[in-house]
Amino acid sequence: MKRPPAIDPRTHALFLDFDGTLVDLVDDPDDVALAAGRVARLQEMSERLSGALAIVSGRRIADLDRFLAPLAFAAAGVHGLERRRRPDGETEFLLQPEALDPVRDALAPTLEANQRLRLEDKGTALVLHYRTAPDLAAAAKSAMRHAVEGRDDLVVMDGDSIVEVHPAGMDKGRALADFLSAPPFEGRVPVYLGDDTTDEFALKTVSEQGGVAIKVGSKESVAEYRLADVADVHHWLDVCGI
């Protein structure tokens, strides 16, 4: 496992996935927690980076704010469909929730027949969770793909015990590239940490731009560097030079 190098707060920008990177994966997404000391450490790093730290997540920015309270950070939520370039800035929404109403209707019978599946409605994305019902993985994936049949404007993505649908043309890599086009991230070398399939888009973008792509865990990845797990992420953040 190739460990990531030290980071220079004068020249780097730091992008962090949330679930599986900053917090451990749990059965109920609402049960995650980040220790108060860890939130304060993120704030310290953001200040040392002159604000060039962002959380890039599949979650909504409003949910990230709740977990990271009382602080707020620059963030890309729902894989970039929500964006906030500065902690005190306004959140920009790239899609309205009504666009997914037909998908919600199509999924309803499957959810009724398989009540161990859990639908997480992010407004601009829908996620079927089967972590507590792994035997229903095939049913969840089939239902989601059937629900979007004929919709070229939507894309289905598999994740860690989830299957998600959101608008095509948006992923974490595009969101990261957008952040890098404007202050305080513009002109800095990107560093990205992520654990899931959905993070591969961002890790690829970082690699192509000569940045530091760090995969968390043991899954196959385009990333050059590795950290073992969430505990290892926090250890590295404490010693990375920021």
Active-site amino acid positions: 17
Pairing of β 53-56 and β 74-77: parallel
- Are 227 and 193 in contact by the 8 Å Cβ rule? The answer is yes
- Two tokens, residue 214: 């760090």
- Two tokens, residue 76: 């890309």
Amino acid at 157: M
How far is CA 218 from each of CA 4, 223, 225, 226, rounded to the nearest angstrom? Answer: 15, 11, 11, 8
Strand extents, DSSP E, the chain: 12-16, 53-56, 74-77, 82-84, 92-93, 118-121, 126-129, 154-159, 162-167, 189-194, 212-216, 225-227
The CA distance from 72 to 61, in Å, is 9
- Are 103 and 147 in contact by the 8 Å Cβ rule? The answer is yes
The CA distance from 193 to 225, in Å, is 9
Which helix (H) or strand (E) segment holds residue 67: the answer is: helix 61-68
